[in-house]
Amino acid sequence: MDINKDIESLEAKAFILKKQKEQERAMIEVLPVRFERNMDAFRRYIPTIYKEFNSYKPKREFDFFCNDNGIPNLLWRDDPRPFYGQDPYLDCKQQIERILNRGSSIQTLNFSIEDNPLEFIHLDFMNEMMHKQSAASESLSPITSVGSEIPLMFMYGVGLGYQISYLYEKCRPSLLFIIEPDMDLFYASLFTFDWFVLLDYINEENLKIHIFLGQNKDDIIQDITVASAKYGSYLSSASVGFWHYKSNDILELIKKTKQEFFFLVSGWGFFDDNIIAMSHTIANVKRNIPFLVKDQKIDKQWEDVPLFIVGNGPSLDAAINLLKEYQEYALILSCGSALSALHRAGIKPDIHVQVERTKVVPDSHRILNDSAYLKDILFLSVDVIHPDCAEQFNRIGLAFKGFEPGVSFLDKHARITAQRDILRSANPLVGNTGLATACRLGFKNIYLVGIDNGYKSDSHHHSKLSFYFDSKGKSKEKLSTQIAKKSRHLVPGNFGGEVETTNMMIHSRTVMERLIDSYKDTHFYNCSDGAKINGAKPTSCEHVKLNRFAFDKSKVLENIITEVYKPMNIDLKALTESLRFDLFYDFIDRFILEWNKKFLTKKDIISCMSITYDYLNTIAICGYEYIYRCLIGSINYSFSVILSFLYKFDESDDLYISVNEIIDSMRKYFSAMKVKYAGTLDSIDRKEHGLFD
């Protein structure tokens, strides 16, 4: 035994323990000072976080400790394992290096060249940009590392925050989303990480950060979508995501975000579509069609009347007998193409709803070749609907559709618009419009029929009684080509098992579930053999038992169209002189000037995008939101094509030559918008689509 070595070892351990104690004493002094400085910074930059944590009490108790390196670590009192290892800084540094050194860390969008039968300038120029991208891709090298400029980063879990310092040392996320489900951990980070330094830096560099705290998996994608729209949805086209620490909550959030990421990068609309919408809104207002009155609902004597909402899902075929049996004792509301199935089955709905703005809608009514059948159906829709629909029905009522240019234009120039309502949750599919209409009118007993949001067979994607199929039940090729493509998801079925579905149908179901959840005093029954809809009780057609109480349907419908919807009597001549062509042209001229240069770095491109986006937001804030609505979708798509291309390949001279060529196509696209906007009042959709030939 070497006594001297043992003594030296004991002395070394004693020295380490002494040093550790000194470090812990210093740590105890520093932590509350850092907390106060952080809270002051949040008070200035993100007041909601300041209010949440100013007097916060953790639900799960913890202690700070440190090793001889003096770096604060965390120990939960109910768990003997420390949050980090021996060196928290090293752990965090290595994590960031691993992420940034892999090209596969960055996720980009894939766009494709699309047919353009309706001759939209949006598709013309998007296709031109995609052709240029495709031609250049063959000679470029796939990206091998993330690089120093990142459009969007998702960080799941903040821990004690140390990794954030290393992140900003190595790169500059234009927008950082921090998603921390554990409020106690974020509270702990206020003592350990210099948030005040980070927030000052982000402010000085004109970067963006959004911190999501306490989110659950059911709300996360909606919250992210709202935040993305605030900062620029186009940033989602090139993003990096990682988890800082593992937990069940973190993994659930990541899984949900991946499943529903399409929410962030779809539904943006585009210029031609918005110009058509504006033209349709103005034409419909010119006819003095009644609009949905704010806070007005059906008379209480009718609210318990059963209402069937009929979609054109494949399970409608098995529900026809149910509808025939109770037609006298319930109201029937048909959605979109379900009208053609009901017509063939000999059932006339009491109410019919539509949501799409194109000429396909009135044409889908014309092909029934039965104008008498349509005339006394109450037609309820939204302001962007094709004006020809007003000639097909004797009674028509409209509501404003959110996030469209028409409502913001009228709201600015016609005071009575404030007394009319937006039909919320009317997107993305016409089944959503039907459910939103029924709920908003005030009906309390709602039965969903043919609202499948999916299908069990590619060959049976809609009711076989509808115009998607011929009289022999054979699918019509023109109408079914896109629909019959293999779905990418399986979801739980309403009566067990699974059904195939698409991104759009998942979106539709999600919107329905949120709407249903907001109407606590309404009974919802899902009689459709499709996707399960949370909040709607699965009820097979055989188990639907209604009271056979006859009522005067005409009085209910009269109450709706005379009391719930009322004309606005707007002076359109004075209104249309307020379209502010000059302001629109000024934005386009500035846009073209700002982008009329050669770009050599990612930073310059992202910065130019930010300048454009901020200027467009300023126009909206100043009261011209309708101009913002006309342009924002095309900006998101154009910028997304550029960013997704820019982050697919390693930086090189050839890459920037190709990017500048794509930007040139974008400039030409926006220049062409000036001519199109000049014809806003004459942009009713008259294109022949050929779908019913």
The per-residue pLDDT for range 537-556, each reduced to its tens digit, is 999 999 999 999 989 999 99
Complete edge-to-edge strand list for the sheet that includes strand 351-353: 537-538, 523-526, 445-449, 307-310, 331-335, 351-353, 378-382, 395-399, 291-292, 565-566
Residue 483 pLDDT > 80: no
d(CA 339, CA 225): 33
3-state SS, residue 525: strand
Average pLDDT over residues 591-598: 97
Position 262 scores a pLDDT of: 87
Contact 435, 512 (CB under 8 A): yes
Distance of CA 576 to the CA centre of its chain: 31
d(CA 153, CA 107): 10
Contact 211, 180 (CB under 8 A): yes
Read off the pLDDT band of 15 (50, 70, 90).
Answer: very low
Domain ranges (residues) in the chain:
303-375+424-550, 571-682
3-state SS, residue 205: coil
Average pLDDT over residues 268-287: 96
Q: Is the pTM of this model over 0.85?
A: yes
Position 217 scores a pLDDT of: 87
d(CA 374, CA 339): 10
* Per-residue burial over 206-230, b = 16 or more CB atoms within 10 Å of its CB, e = otherwise: ebbbbbbbebebeebbeebbebbee
Q: What is the pLDDT of residues 620-668, one digit of tens each?
A: 999 999 999 999 999 999 999 999 999 999 999 999 999 999 999 999 9
Residue with tokens 């009319």: 420
Average pLDDT over residues 456-468: 80
Of residues 293 and 215, more confidently modeled: 293
Of residues 27 and 414, more confidently modeled: 414
Among 667, 551, 226, smallest CA distance to 403 is for: 226
d(CA 338, CA 681): 32
Position 477 scores a pLDDT of: 64
DSSP 570-613: --HHHHHTTS-HHHHHHHHHHHHHHT-S---SHHHHHHHHHHHH
d(CA 458, CA 487): 9
Looking at mean pLDDT, say which of 67-76, 265-274, 434-443 comes out highest.
434-443
Position 479 scores a pLDDT of: 63
543: Cβ–Cβ under 8 A, 6 or more apart, which residues?
none
Residue with tokens 């909606």: 222
3-state secondary structure 308-344: EEECCCHHHHHHHHHHHHHCCCCEEEEECCHHHHHHH
Residue 462 pLDDT > 90: no
Average pLDDT over residues 561-588: 90
The burial of 424, by beta-carbon neighbours within 10 Å (0-12 exposed, 13-18 middle, 19 or more buried), is given as middle
Position 249 scores a pLDDT of: 96
Torsion region of 463: left, alpha or beta (phi above 0 gives left; psi -120 to 50 gives alpha):
beta
d(CA 76, CA 140): 50
Output DSSP code: residue 475: B
* Per-residue burial over 572-600, b = 16 or more CB atoms within 10 Å of its CB, e = otherwise: eeebeeebbeeebeebbeebeeebeeebe
∠ Cα 53 183 41 (to 5°): 40
3-state SS, residue 195: helix
Which alpha helices (DSSP H) does 232-376 contain, by range? 248-259, 271-286, 320-326, 338-345, 360-366, 371-375
Of residues 678 and 5, more confidently modeled: 678
d(CA 47, CA 346): 60
Contact 531, 501 (CB under 8 A): yes
Lowest mean pLDDT among 21-35, 122-136, 248-262: 21-35
Q: What is the pLDDT of residues 55-64, one digit of tens each?
A: 999 999 999 9
CB atoms within 10 A of CB 116: 13
Average pLDDT over residues 338-343: 96
Average pLDDT over residues 149-166: 97
Read off the pLDDT band of 469 (50, 70, 90).
Answer: confident
Residue 4 pLDDT > 80: no
Residue 21 pLDDT > 80: no
C-alpha distances (whole Å) from 622 to each of 291, 465, 589, 626 are: 26, 50, 19, 11
Average pLDDT over residues 202-227: 94
Which alpha helices (DSSP H) does 497-580 contain, by range? 503-518, 553-559, 572-576
d(CA 674, CA 693): 34
Residue with tokens 């009329």: 596
pLDDT cut 90: percent of the chain above it: 84
Q: What is the pLDDT of residues 76-109, one digit of tens each?
A: 999 999 999 999 999 999 999 999 999 999 999 9
Position 5 scores a pLDDT of: 55
Contact 142, 177 (CB under 8 A): no
**Amino acid, single-letter form, for residue 654:** D
Residue 63 backbone phi and psi in degrees, to 5 = -130, 150
Residue 14 pLDDT > 50: no
β partners of residue 455 = 500
* Per-residue burial over 448-483, b = 16 or more CB atoms within 10 Å of its CB, e = otherwise: bbbbbbbbbeeebbbbbbbbbbeeeeebeeebbeee
Average pLDDT over residues 122-132: 97
Indicate the Cα dihedral angle 249, 255, 259, 261, nearest 10°: 80
Contact 41, 195 (CB under 8 A): yes
Residue 358 pLDDT > 60: yes
